[in-house]
Amino acid sequence: MSYAFEAEGLVKRYGSTTALAGVSLHARRGTVLGVLGPNGAGKTTAIQILATLLRPDAGRATVGGLDVVRDAARVGRLVGLTGQYATVDEDLTGAENLVLLGRLLDLPRAAARSRARALLTQVGLMDAAHLRVSAYSGGMRRRLDLAAGLIGRPEIVFLDEPTTGLDPGKREDLWATIRALAAEGATVLLTTQYLEEADALADEITVIDHGRVIAHDTPAGLKQLVGGRTIVVRPSDPALLGAAARVVERVTGRPVEQQHGGALTTPVESARAFTDVVRALETARVDVAELALRLPSLDEVFFSLTGVTETSATGTEETA
Amino acid sequence: MTTLSTQAPAVRRPAVDAPRPWPLLRHSFALAGRSLTKTWRNPGMLLEALFMPAIFLLMFVYLFGGAVSGSSREYLQYVFPGVLVLTTILTGQVSTGVSIVVDMKKGVFDRFRSMPIARSAPLLGSMLGDAVRYPVAVTMLFGLGYLLGFRVETDLASALGAVALTIGFGFSLSWLTVLVAVLLGDENMVSWVAFLVPFPLVFGTSMAAPAETMPGWLQAWAEVNPVSHAIDASRRLLLGGPVAEPVLMTLLWGGAALLVLAPLAAWAYRRRM
């Protein structure tokens, strides 16, 4: 199997603090790897090592088959980086920033300009192209950061929390851009605190916490790993909730777990139980407004893997 | 409301195929252009370069001129070449180191470092971009000097030689602040170094008064102080006298400073990863 990038046993210490305690990551070409973890888990340190901004204390990493320490300069040609620490110049306009980066990547002046225009259009900043970045909103900054990482048409794109601080609409837009990148054949490493984001974008997810990998799987596999499925039943008439609960209990042979907001949930062993519940509700003439078999959410997965509650895992940082 | 196009750039073929020659120079010039744009947008950054030479010149001529030479006019001829050296050294010291530290603390340097560009280019680019301060400061100094009555007693070529030599010397010495800046990474410390270092160097010379009038230990220091050569060279290029020896010594000292300090600073900068 050919990996676009591969890290093995990365260790990075700052004084007595261990940021990474042996992290291994890899992604096949053309896939999106989501690295999921709370603040301080080591996500950014791992990306900085892969992007040659930091040297690992132990372990090794290759990007496009090149060693990130020995071949740092050549690795730089393959990757594009977007993160809050690798940003753009506030005193320059959006267009000037991108043209400068294009020139630094040895594009001729005209090519750098047209590349900048194409990217500004792509991230929806053409109207603000000639405004200084200091006048940009947080969301505009993030989109310009993304464009800055894509100047050199990188084969491998590292996105360190690209949507932190974006409002939901803009987040969906950025997701579309990231999906398009992967569809074009780029390999994407995406770190996020948003479980929903990893689920929506990643082909595989590596969960890290306190500098260690605690799980690696597909989003679906990860959900399977942690627990069974749940049936949700919401009767059209809230008065029938009790009747619905009796039906479900009879079919599944276990008491319903939660019963609030007019809906009940209960864990089930197999998908087969779901069809049984559907038939039994039909027979008992309980009309339903909502009837679902759902996988555990990544929030729940994360909680059961790390023991950290969801609020601390999805805390947002406001960026100016 | 803007919408993102879902069409991504073709990523399979890199836009950049092979490195072109002279990366350090080309990247440094591109980054120097960035510094110039920033300076153009915040011209306040140039005020220091504009007013510092004026303040020193007025202070020396009118505060000390009468006491040292008996006449302000006569003293102006004596002190002006020294103030030229003081100006170029101080201009080099106070500008670059600070702007590099500010840049290093911002994310934009990390972006440059993640790119396949010559590793020292951001450092050199910043130095080159800030070099715009030298002509600004020197023009101000000569303009004011002429208004006050200073006259070059040699010729235009020699005067331009004095300007080029002193700017080159100031630029070479400025790598000291850059080295400190890169090592310490703290703009307050850098300001202090930039402020303190030039004083013994520039004032421990015959800049403001003939060395014979100084106590023995200071005379001894003025003898060995490399800045003395620069002041001698500047004085003879502007006012006349044999120039070969002081100019050569200035070039040697400046070159030595550049050859030692610049690679050290570049090494310290690259090593900050």
> pLDDT tens digit string along A48-79?
999 988 899 999 999 999 999 998 888 888 89
Using an 8 Å Cβ cutoff, are A99 and B120 in contact?
no
Question: Chain A: residue nearest B37 by CA?
Answer: A92
Q: Which amino acid belongs to residue A289?
A: A
CB contact under 8 A, A106 and B113: no
Looking at residue A12, its pLDDT comes to 93
- Statement: residue A298 has pLDDT above 70: no
Encode pLDDT of B127-185 as tens digits: 888 888 999 999 999 999 999 989 999 999 999 999 999 999 999 999 988 898 888 88
Looking at residue A319, its pLDDT comes to 33
Q: Closest partner residue to A184 among B10, B31, B34, by Cβ?
A: B10
Higher pLDDT, B31 or B194: B31
Confidence of residue B69 (pLDDT cuts 50, 70, 90): confident
- Statement: residue A258 has pLDDT above 80: no
Confidence of residue B19 (pLDDT cuts 50, 70, 90): low
Is residue A211 included in any domain, yes or no?
yes
A59 and A198 together in one domain: yes
Task: Suggest the residue from A49, A53, A99, A104 to mutate for an interface test with chain B (most B CBs closer than 10 A).
Answer: A104
% of chain A at pLDDT higher than 70: 92
Is residue A307 included in any domain, yes or no?
no
Contacts of A90 in chain B (CB under 8 A): 106
Using an 8 Å Cβ cutoff, are B18 and A104 in contact?
no
Task: Name the domain boundary from A184, A206, A224.
Answer: A224
A263 and A208 together in one domain: no
Task: Suggest the residue from A89, A99, A166 to mutate for an interface test with chain B (most B CBs closer than 10 A).
Answer: A89
A197 and A270 together in one domain: no
Encode pLDDT of A133-146 as tens digits: 999 988 888 889 99
C-alpha span between A7 and A230 (Å, rounded): 36
Which structural domain range is residue A245 located in? 229-294
C-alpha span between B159 and B155 (Å, rounded): 6
Question: Quick check: ipTM above 0.90?
Answer: no
Residues 6+ apart with CB under 8 A from A265: A230, A231, A232, A233, A256, A257, A258
CB contact under 8 A, B16 and A89: no
Q: Which residues 75-104 of A are in CB contact (within 8 Å) with B?
A: 76-79, 81, 84-92, 96, 100-104
- Residue A191 three-state SS: strand
Q: Which amino acid belongs to residue B264?
A: L
C-alpha span between A197 and A190 (Å, rounded): 9
Domain segments of chain B: what residues?
A: 45-270
Question: Chain B: residue nearest A181 by CA?
Answer: B8
A216 and A234 together in one domain: no
Mean pLDDT for chain A overall: 85
Tokens for B83? Answer: 């103030």
CB contact under 8 A, A106 and B19: yes
C-alpha span between A152 and A102 (Å, rounded): 7
C-alpha span between A69 and A76 (Å, rounded): 11
Task: Suggest the residue from B2, B7, B11 to mutate for an interface test with chain A (most A CBs closer than 10 A).
Answer: B11
Looking at residue A159, its pLDDT comes to 93
A160 and A263 together in one domain: no
Distance from A290 to chain B by nearest Cα, in Å? 33
Q: Is B83 exposed, middle or buried (0-12, 13-18, 19+ CB in 10 A)?
A: buried
A216 and A257 together in one domain: no
A138-150 vs A168-183: helix crossing angle, rounded to 10: 10
CATH number of the domain where residue A72 is located? 3.40.50.300
A211 and A267 together in one domain: no
- Statement: residue B20 has pLDDT above 50: yes
Looking at residue B213, its pLDDT comes to 82
Using an 8 Å Cβ cutoff, are A245 and A238 in contact?
no
Contacts of B126 in chain A (CB under 8 A): none
Is residue A19 included in any domain, yes or no?
yes
Q: Beta-strand (E) ranges in chain B?
A: none
Question: Chain B: residue nearest A29 by CA?
Answer: B12
A167 and A263 together in one domain: no
A107 and A212 together in one domain: yes
Task: Suggest the residue from B12, B35, B115 to mutate for an interface test with chain A (most A CBs closer than 10 A).
Answer: B115
Is residue A310 included in any domain, yes or no?
no
The stretch B12-36 carries a mean pLDDT of 76
C-alpha span between B171 and B164 (Å, rounded): 10
Q: Quick check: A123 contacting B, CB < 8 Å?
A: yes
Residues 6+ apart with CB under 8 A from B179: B261, B264, B265, B268
Is residue A306 included in any domain, yes or no?
no
- Statement: residue A312 has pLDDT above 90: no
Looking at residue B2, its pLDDT comes to 44
pTM of the model: 0.76
Is residue A301 included in any domain, yes or no?
no
Contacts of B23 in chain A (CB under 8 A): 106
Is residue A309 included in any domain, yes or no?
no
- Statement: residue B13 has pLDDT above 50: no
Q: Closest partner residue to A55 among B14, B41, B273, by Cβ?
A: B273
CB contact under 8 A, A177 and B4: yes
Number of domains in chain A: 2
A114 and A57 together in one domain: yes
CATH number of the domain where residue A238 is located? 3.30.70.100
Task: Name the domain boundary from A224, A250, A281.
Answer: A224
